[in-house]
Amino acid sequence: MMDTKLLTLVGSGFAESLYMTFFATLFSYVIGLPIGLILAITSPEGIKPSREINFGLGAVVNFLRSVPFIILAVAIIPLTRLVTGTSIGSTAAIVPLVVAAAPLVARSVESSVKGVDSGVIEAARSMGATTWQIIKKVMLPEALPSLITGLASATITVLGFSAMAGAFGGGGLGAIAINYGYYRGQSDIMYVMVILLVLMVQIIQKIGDRMSVRVDKTIRESGSAAPEDNNTEH
Amino acid sequence: MADSINNIIQISGLRKVFSDGTKTVTALDGISLEVRQGEIFGIIGLSGAGKSTLVRCINLLETPTEGSVIVDGKDMASLNEADLLEARRKIGMIFQGFNLLQQRSALENVCFPLEIAGVKKEDAKVRAASLLETVGLGDRLDAYPSQLSGGMQQRVAIARALANEPKVLLCDEATSALDPKTTLQILELLQKINKEFGVTIVVITHEMKVIERICSRVAILAESRVVESGEVSEVFRHPKTSAAKQLIFPQGEKIETFRGGKRLLRLAFDGTTTDQPIVANMVLSCGEAVSILAADTKLIEGKTVGQMVLQLPENESAAERMLAYLDQENISYTEGE
């Protein structure tokens, strides 16, 4: 195979993977973030406990999470056709990616928000904050470092799913790896794809970690430890 | 009623029952008390007495099962959602764990209740800065909670609780996480706020010294009920109930339940021993009480001379430890029935 041809192939695969991952992650959050918040606030220890809502929503999320991605993608082909008009290609792959990732995102958001100190939420309630104010001004900002870490994980999961989507016409690096590497026996191409995927995962993780630390005000810069009570107060 | 006008908080027949379907726990059982305008009122009790639930029934963080809570003329349980939120803005609260927003600076934390109340951002900042000045943190406006000591964090929390000019400040074990020196500083600050702003303060604590230091009146809570209440000096000088005695003389209860054994000990003091309080030290180091049956000792030129008869505890190993302690301290003794 010629080098330029290989480069074009890799370039378009890379672009397709990025495209699928970006939009699938974005829409997963559009759906998963509110669901995660609802799960957190309707839980028994939440600010608006509701057994019915929590149980119902939780059951749907658990159901979707327990179906393997490949099977889910095939099962929802009618939905994919309805939304995108086709069942082949990167845009079509976004639909099953979102259906599979949104429940993961919901659980990840739920656990980030539940990690916010309940005392801080109680303090906000004692000040007369409304439920919406608590969500907007307490839960989300206080959970931000954890939400960013969750976003990195979710993006990596979606990238992995998108490589799987390559096996049934989704395009991207996964498709190249399976078509050239497996069906044609060109294992060198497969290895290149694997290395590229690994690099992408590493980069996403690093960016996520960095951003999480940067926004987190509970992490002190070195050399500025909190003062002790006795020697600083007058 | 003439004197109910002066009561900013009026609690009558308050009951709170927690139930999780199978089990029910009565946290508060028929609590009635009133807090007067402008005073510092203490509520003291051992852990599990229901103090935290009681204070949360005042601003309705917990909904009373029965009874009424009237704060500044408003029957809290009867308010609709919007009026309740409005009423809470006039009741400040501080906590044992400070409960500051970790991702906000000191200034932004104090701005928080003002944002909630719809105060304009610039106005909120000016007010927050002046409140932080009041609590002695005028130079730490941009510090985050993780950069502040416990005492400083509680000061920020106090400034935050005062932001909406509350009439009442509820303090839930506000000094329990602080060392003794910082505790005193925070108590002094609360006193200053009480005087300068005329804020009525309700203090929940398990620590006697907090009540003694700043409260004018106190209610003692035990097993979900108010067992005693009144002026601090009166209640503390003449505690009537065993719960009150237990709080005021924490060691008292132990001695009442002293189970003496048969072994008696006659100690002889001949003036050669040191001026240490031998019996007290022995009791402290062995962790068991003794009963002094008879004592005839005199202080002669700073030396203790005489004898004392002690009844050793029933617990044999403690009794043996006491004998070993006396040997070690070179106190001569004889044992008898």
Spatial CB neighbours of B17, under 8 Å, sequence gap ≥ 6 = B24, B25, B26, B27, B65
Q: Is residue A120 part of a domain?
A: no
The number of CA neighbours under 13 Å toward the Cβ of A123 is 31
B177 and B323 both lie in a single domain: no
In a domain, A230, yes or no: no
Q: Are residues B267 and B244 both part of a single domain?
A: no
- The most confident of A110-119, B21-30, B290-299, by mean pLDDT: A110-119
- Is the CB of B61 less than 8 angstroms away from the CB of A125? yes
Which of B198, B219, B248 is the last residue before a domain boundary? B248
The tokens for B150 are 């416990």
Summarize the confidence of residues B268-282 as an average pLDDT. 75
Give contacts of B92 with chain A, Cβ < 8 Å.
Answer: 126
CATH of the domain at B54: 3.40.50.300
pLDDT score of B20 = 80
What was the pLDDT predicted at B4? 53
| Shared-domain flag, residues B170 and B86 | yes
**Is the pLDDT confidence value at B3 over 90?**
no
Q: Quick one: chain B helix, strand, coil %, rounded to 5?
A: 40, 30, 30
Task: Calculate mean pLDDT across residues A68-90.
Answer: 91
Say if residue B305's pLDDT is above 80. no
B chain contacts of residue A220, beta-carbon cutoff 8 Å? 144, 146-147
Note whether residue A123 is domain-resident.
no
Residue after which a domain boundary falls, among B204, B222, B248: B248
B233 and B277, same domain (yes or no): no
Mutation target for B interface from A122, A130, A217: give the one with most B CBs within 10 A: A217
Domain range for residue B49?
Answer: 3-90+166-248
What pLDDT was estimated at residue A231?
Answer: 45
- The residue range of the domain holding A160 is 3-115+129-216
Is B105 a member of any domain? Answer: no
Phi, psi of B16 (to 5 degrees): -135, 120
Return the minimum-mean-pLDDT range out of A97-101, A164-168, A195-199, B154-158. A164-168
Structural domain includes residue B231: yes
Last residue within a domain, chosen from B223, B248, B273? B248
User: For residue B306, what are the CA distances in angstroms to B84, B274, B279, B294?
Assistant: 70, 14, 14, 11
- Using a CB-CB cut-off of 8 Å, the residues of chain B touching A219 are 146
B193 in the same domain as B284: no
> Which residue has better confidence, A188 or B187?
B187
Q: Above 80 in pLDDT, residue B324?
A: yes
Q: Is position A231 within any domain? A: no
If pLDDT is split at 50, 70 and 90, which confidence band does B5 have? low
CB A32 within 8 A of CB A101: yes
Q: Is residue A148 part of a domain?
A: yes
Query: Do B291 and B191 sit in the same domain of this protein?
Result: no
Percent of chain A at pLDDT exceeding 70: 94
Per-residue pLDDT reduced to its tens digit, A95-115: 999 999 999 999 999 999 999
Torsion of CA A185, A186, A191, A192, to 10 degrees: -150
- To the nearest whole angstrom, how far is the Cα of B291 from the nearest Cα of chain A? 41
Q: Is residue B161 part of a domain?
A: no
CB-CB neighbors (< 8 A) of B111 in chain A = none
Strand partners, A220: none
Look at residue B295 in the predicted model and tell me its pLDDT: 79
Question: Could you tell me the CATH number of the domain that includes residue B266?
Answer: 3.30.70.260
Looking at the fold, whether B231 and B271 belong to one and the same domain comes out as: no
Whether B170 and B85 share a structural domain = yes
Please report where in the chains the tokens 């004018």 appear, as a residue.
Answer: B216
In contact, B76 and B127? CB cutoff 8 Å: no
> What residues have CB less than 8 Å from A192, skipping those under 6 apart?
A10
In a domain, B294, yes or no: yes
pLDDT band, very low/low/confident/very high, at A215 (cuts 50, 70, 90) = very high
- pLDDT at residue number B260: 67
For the domain that residue A81 is a member of, what is the CATH number?
A: 1.10.3720.10
Number of independent structural domains in chain A: 1
Average pLDDT score over residue span B37-64:
93
Is any Cβ of chain A less than 8 angstroms from the Cβ of B146? yes
pLDDT in tens, B148-178: 999 999 999 999 999 999 999 999 999 999 9
* Beta partners for residue B35, in sequence order: B9
Residue B257 has pLDDT above 80, yes or no: no
Number of domains in chain B: 2
Domain presence at residue A121: no
B80 and B203 in a common domain: yes
**B327 plus B219 within the same structural domain:** no
pLDDT at B209 over 90: no
In a domain, B118, yes or no: no
Report whether A226 contacts B146 (CB < 8 A).
yes
Length of chain B equals 337
Strand runs labelled E in chain A: none
In this prediction, residue A225 carries a pLDDT of 61
Q: Answer whether residue B286 is part of any domain.
A: yes
Q: Sorting pLDDT into bands at 50, 70 and 90, what band is A234?
A: very low
- Please tell me whether residues B76 and B186 are part of one structural domain: yes
The rounded distance, in Å, linking the Cα atoms of A76 and A84 is: 12
B200-205 β-sheet, strand order = B91-95, B168-172, B200-205, B40-44, B217-222, B225-231
Q: How are beta strands B225-231 and B168-172 bridged, if at all?
A: unpaired
DSSP one-letter code for B207: -
B63 in contact with A at a CB cutoff of 8 Å?
A: no
pLDDT value at B250 more than 70:
no
pLDDT at A152: 97
Q: Choose between A225 and B242: higher pLDDT.
A: B242
Is the domain of B204 the same as that of B311? Answer: no
B129 in a domain, yes or no?
Answer: no
Ordered DSSP codes for B63-117: --SEEEEEETTEEGGG--HHHHHHHHTTEEEEETT----TTS-HHHHHHHHHHHT
User: pLDDT at residue B78 above 90?
Assistant: yes
Residues 6+ apart with CB under 8 A from A206: none
Average pLDDT of span A216-220: 85
